[in-house]
A and B are shown apart, each in its own frame.
Chain A
Amino acid sequence: NAGVTQTPKFRVLKTGQSMTLLCAQDMNHEYMYWYRQDPGMGLRLIHYSVGEGTTAKGEVPDGYNVSRLKKQNFLLGLESAAPSQTSVYFCASSSMGLADNMYFGPGTRLTVT
């Protein structure tokens, strides 16, 4: 039982390049989320999904796209990376239980030069 895993752990991109971050969970959770963490700003929600085949915008969705083709995977895409997207990206998942404990992945550190 690996919980929530993210690949890659680190990445450096040049401005304008594209990439996809992969999140996988093996807990059969319905909800999955992508957050970005910037110094002094806490975690901000980018996109989220309430089930396979569904996605929705969070607080800061611009410049990102997501897909949830399989229940266990949630992909975050950057079509044309910008320096403002330099951040640490966390994926999380949760069940539909009352307390909705969120399980976080270890994060992906992305630098855009």
Chain B
Amino acid sequence: GEDVEQSLFLSVREGDSSVINCTYTDSSSTYLYWYKQEPGAGLQLLTYIFSNMDMKQDQRLTVLLNKKDKHLSLRIADTQTGDSAIYFCAEKEYSSASKIIFGSGTRLSIRP
């Protein structure tokens, strides 16, 4: 079945770039998402990419998609303490309202 995998933890120094990686198995995925969860809160959509795109940039965020390897990454430039959170990768088939599959989340911590 479909699966989305992420590493559980990432620690970076303030001001450095953070790169969070994700792999997925469903080749029919149409949309791929990055969500951010701050402590005690629900998930908030950060950005998404269509499967026919290779890259999407939005201010400090850059999403790279390697469809051949089914690999998605989120780069956060100039990481700040406010970026501390859990980041979830998710995939979705266009035809299915229910099939949004989430990864286990990567906890990003920032070192001073």
Contact = CB atoms under 8 A, between A and B. Distances in A.
Interface of A: 4, 31, 33, 35, 40-45, 48, 50, 56, 58, 90, 92, 94, 98-102, 104-107
A104 B97 contact: no
Contacts of A50: 97-98
Interface residues of B, number: 20
Contacts of B94: 98
Interface of B: 4, 8, 31, 40-45, 48, 88, 92, 94, 97-98, 100, 102-105
Given A31-B97, A48-B97, A58-B98, A43 B41 contact: no
The 8 closest A-B pairs by CB, nearest first: A104-B42, A42-B104, A42-B102, A43-B102, A104-B43, A48-B98, A101-B45, A106-B42
The interface centre, meaning the residue of B4, B31, B40, B100 with most chain A CB atoms within 10 A of its CB, is B100
A104 B98 CA distance: 15
Contacts of A92: 42-43
B97 A99 contact: no
Contacts of B8: 40
Contact of A42 (B42, B44, B88, B98): B88
A104 B40 CA distance: 12
Contacts of B104: 40-42
Contacts of A35: 102
